[in-house]
Chain A
Amino acid sequence: DIQMTQSPSILSASVGDRVTITCRASQSISNWLAWYQQKPGKAPKLLVYRASTLESGVPSRFTGSASGTEFTLTITSLQPDDFATYYCQQYYSYSTFGQGTKVEIK
């Protein structure tokens, strides 16, 4: 099974901050990686797929990038609506989600 190690687990930040979340895959997954945002009591929302393609309607302050088995989600200027939990998902070999990163108000 492919393991996804996501860090940090909690991130404290302020509105306007640049925020970076990282996921590392235990083996090569090409670019079969997605990022989701989840708010309490709600379903996850797809933000990025194929590592760097922004889902339609997602603000351009969200960007995804990849380097080998390390994947990054960056929020260039954190907005109040962005405080949430973020998950990565590899879908190269079946599907595995990371453990999540909670972005909280500093």
Chain B
Amino acid sequence: AQSVTQLDSQVPVFEEAPVELRCNYSSSVSVYLFWYVQYPNQGLQLLLKYLSGSTLVKGINGFEAEFNKSQTSFHLRKPSVHISDTAEYFCAVSGGRRGNKLTFGTGTQLKVEL
């Protein structure tokens, strides 16, 4: 069984400040990790993914995440946020095999303020 924990339900931040959204997972097997973003009244779209290789993964819109196997974490970061980054962010984990389903965290609402 696998699970994902997003400890922060809401993260307020001022524009141009850095931000980190935390994600921890548990799994008994190797994993694939994902971050999805949901803008208001829209579906989810993929921000970035970790499959294997380099533990630092770069995604769209200047976001990046680091896979830390020893701490079972996959935190999302951006050095300078913009108003347009206001959205809900979901971390997800999948077993590292073809056909495994994704398990999603409960989401973190990022609110960027002027």
A binds B: no
